[in-house]
Amino acid sequence: MQLVNHGVSTTLLEKLNHEVEEFYRLPLEEKLRYRIREGELEGYGTRSRGDGKFDWIDTFNIVTNPVLKRKPHLFSQLPPSLRSAMECYLSELQKLARKLICLMGKALKIDEKEMKELFDDGLQAVRMSNYPPCPQPELVMALTPHSAITLLTILHQVNGVDGLQVKKDGHWLPFNFIPDAFVVNVGDIFQIFSNGVYHSIEHRVSAFRETERMTVTFTELPNSEADVGPSPSLLNEDNPPLFRTVGMEQYFNDFLTRKLYGKTYLDHMRIQNGHQQSST
């Protein structure tokens, strides 16, 4: 969905847009100061599909919460003006995401305390993305089809270029942005938590021959001690669990061992024919 009247000031968004664009204008050697290190997931670099292929995208991924998990060579070393704008933006998005999650839980008649326990001091991350012009856009995907493994993602369009597509009834449909609106996507964890009431959105991004696209994505996940599974408040004889329950650490580690494509990981979490799938 697209969220308008979200309360984040236009002035802040314009400042963030400028700083993100300035970052991607830096010489490559400057950006490579933040490159993804061996065995790590955070930093600047290209996005692997997990099958030896790469999407047509340069990303900069940073875990921003809990604050103690911030890597000292990344966020704190950003250009000061970008870091300042990002700190303000993250503060606003954190409040917005938690308000949305609590409202979605209220619609399910889940106690607010249970919702807050789900994301209290949860893992939050931000991803700056640049989709550069592609000489042969018909041969690649800028971003491969997938659904987010998160509770919620909030996408901000930096430079007003479309390209996002969503899958509906088996067909890919172009997504047209409303200026200054946020795109809010339900993630796999929320589909699992709601026992299938909410549905995560499968999406992809097209490449363009002459146009670049920039975005900032904020993601919200449960804290590392939480379980990922259907809310006990929703389960009864008439509504049995549709998904397995696993610890957040196992959920994340299992995801890392699998190829990123479509909703295959969500399917891996489903209970098949009344029996839980193996976690291997």
Express each pLDDT in 177-193 by its tens digit.
Answer: 888 899 999 999 999 99
In sequence order, what are the residues at sequence separation of 6 or more whose Cβ sits closer than 8 angstroms to the Cβ of residue 110? 231, 233, 234
Mean pLDDT of 246-260: 85
The CATH number for 120's domain is 2.60.120.330
CA 165 – CA 158 distance, rounded (Å): 17
Residue 275 has pLDDT above 60, yes or no: no
Question: Mean pLDDT lowest for which of 10-24, 141-155, 222-236, 248-262?
Answer: 248-262
Instruction: Give the model's pLDDT for residue 278.
Output: 41
Host domain of residue 227:
2-274
Q: Is the pLDDT of residue 263 over 50?
A: yes
Q: Are 118 and 208 in contact (CB under 8 A)?
A: no
Please report the sign of the dihedral spanned by the C-alpha atoms of residue 137, residue 256, residue 104, residue 5.
Answer: negative
Q: Report d(CA 60, CA 69) in Å as an integer.
A: 16
Q: Does some domain include residue 70?
A: yes
Over the stretch 14-36, which tens digit does the pLDDT of each residue have?
999 999 999 999 999 999 999 99
- Cα–Cα distance, 132 to 106 (Å, whole number): 41
Residue 162 in this model has a pLDDT that exceeds 90? no
Contact 62, 78 (CB under 8 A): no
The total of structural domains in the chain comes to 1
Confidence class for position 50, pLDDT limits 50, 70, 90: low
What are the residues whose beta carbons fall under 8 Å from the beta carbon of 130, sequence distance 6 or more?
Answer: 24, 57, 58, 59, 212, 213, 214
Domain assignment present for 280: no
Which region among 45-49, 69-73, 74-78, 163-167 has the lowest average model confidence (pLDDT)?
45-49
Residue 259 lies in a domain: yes
Please provide the size of the chain in residues.
280
pLDDT for 91 equals: 95
**Integer Cα distance of 107 and 129 in angstroms:** 33
190 is a domain residue: yes
For residue range 85-128, list pLDDT tens digits in order: 999 999 999 999 999 999 999 999 998 888 888 878 889 999 99
Assess if residue 189 is contained within a domain.
Answer: yes
Q: Lowest-pLDDT range, 54-68, 79-93, 113-127, 133-147?
A: 133-147
Average pLDDT, the chain: 89
Average pLDDT over residues 249-269: 84
279 belongs to a structural domain: no
Can you give the three-state secondary structure of the chain, one letter per residue? CEECCCCCCHHHHHHHHHHHHHHHHCCHHHHHHHECCCCCCCEEEEEECCCCCEEEEEEEEEEEECHHHCCCCCHHHCCHHHHHHHHHHHHHHHHHHHHHHHHHHHHCCCCHHHHHHHHCCCCEEEEEEEECCCCCHHHCCCEEEECCCCCEEEEEECCCCCCEEEEECCEEEECCCCCCCEEEEECHHHHHHCCCCCCCCCEEECCCCCCCEEEEEEEECCCCCCEECCCHHHCECCECCCECCEEHHHHHHHHHCCCCCECHHHHHHEEECCEECCCC
Residue 107 lies in a domain: yes
- Band of pLDDT at residue 280, cut at 50, 70 and 90: very low
Asked if residue 122 belongs to a domain, the reply is yes
Place of tokens 């670049």: 212
Q: Is 128 helix (H, G, I), strand (E, B) or coil?
A: strand
